[in-house]
Structures are given as structure tokens and as C-alpha cells.
């Protein structure tokens, strides 16, 4: 299970240290790593990493989420969610891609939407009125007979 690349901490713009506690709304664009305690809301267009020591109680909207710690709250990630083996997640997850490592604890709903599959479903639905095909064939047949 070591296939996923470990995140280089020096590459992360903001790190919330272990002894830091935050209450409120957090907004960021690039990357944030939480090692401390956070309560409130998180809005991001980038990467959110929740460290193994972190405790987050928040509604999270982000692009990517990698969690090693404890999260309570609903998560919406536009790209992907990774729950590492040490993570504990209580709340719903909405994302197109999810990876859960063995050992992680997840209680909540997982809502996944994938565009290509929806299109395929729609196509099959559109196909169902077969009367069009048969009527076309009939017209051709009649055409042949009449000529």
C-alpha cells in the first residue's frame, strides 16, 4: 500500500502546526496541511492535507483531499479524496474519485458522479424508443415495393 506518493512538506504553502487551534473559515488556493485542530469551514481550489495528529470539524470544499487524521463533517472534492490508513472520517463525501486505504474508518455516505457514465446511461435511454427504427425500415420497404 505504499504506492501513493508521500507528500513533501516543504512543497506545501501553509502548515497549521500541531499546537495550533483555529475556529472559523479557512480559504486558500494552493495547498494547506493541518496538523492541529480546526473547527469551521474550509474552502479551497487546491490540495488539503490533514495530518495524522489533526482533528478537523468542518464543512470542506476543495479540489484534492488527503486525510491521515480525524475529520468530522461533509466533504466535497472536485477531483479526488484519499483516506489514508490512519484516517477517521465521519460525514459524507462527494467526489468523482475516491481511494480508501485498508485501516481507514469511514462512516457516512459516498456520493460519486462521473460524467462519461451518465452520458452512456442517457444514450441507452435515448435508444429505447425503437419504433423510430422500425418505422424507417417499413418506409424503406414500402418504398421498394412501390418502385
Which residue ranges make up the site for other proteins (CB under 8 A)? 70, 80, 88, 90, 97-112, 114
Angle at 70 (CA atoms; ends 76, 62), nearest 5 degrees: 20
The CB density around residue 147, as the number of other CB atoms within 10 Å, is: 5
Least Å distance, CB 100 to other proteins, is 4
By beta-carbon proximity to other proteins, the closer residue of 78 and 80 is 80
**End-to-end CA separation in angstroms for the chain:** 70
Least Å distance, CB 102 to other proteins, is 4
What is the rounded CA–CA span in Å between residue 27 and residue 68?
20
By beta-carbon proximity to other proteins, the closer residue of 102 and 146 is 102
By beta-carbon proximity to other proteins, the closer residue of 17 and 112 is 112
By beta-carbon proximity to other proteins, the closer residue of 20 and 109 is 109
Q: Which of 43, 99, 93 is nearest to 72 (CA)?
A: 93
- Phi, psi torsion values for 76, nearest 5 degrees: -125, 115
Least Å distance, CB 24 to other proteins, is 25
Least Å distance, CB 57 to other proteins, is 14
Size of the chain, expressed as the number of residues it contains: 147
Amino acid at each position: 500500500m505504499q504506492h501513493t506518493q508521500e507528500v513533501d512538506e516543504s512543497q506545501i504553502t501553509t502548515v497549521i502546526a500541531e499546537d495550533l487551534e483555529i475556529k472559523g473559515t479557512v480559504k486558500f488556493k494552493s495547498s494547506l496541511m493541518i496538523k492541529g485542530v480546526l473547527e469551521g469551514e474550509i474552502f479551497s481550489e487546491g490540495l488539503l492535507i490533514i495530518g495524522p495528529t489533526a482533528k478537523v470539524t468542518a464543512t470542506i470544499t476543495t479540489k484534492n483531499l488527503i486525510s491521515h487524521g480525524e475529520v468530522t463533517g461533509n466533504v466535497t472534492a472536485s477531483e479526488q479524496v484519499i483516506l489514508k490508513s490512519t484516517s477517521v472520517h465521519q460525514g459524507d463525501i462527494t467526489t468523482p474519485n475516491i481511494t480508501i486505504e485498508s485501516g481507514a474508518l469511514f462512516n457516512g455516505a459516498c456520493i460519486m458522479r462521473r460524467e462519461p457514465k451518465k452520458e452512456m446511461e442517457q444514450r441507452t435511454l435515448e435508444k429505447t424508443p425503437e419504433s423510430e427504427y422500425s418505422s424507417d425500415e417499413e418506409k424503406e420497404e414500402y418504398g421498394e415495393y412501390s418502385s
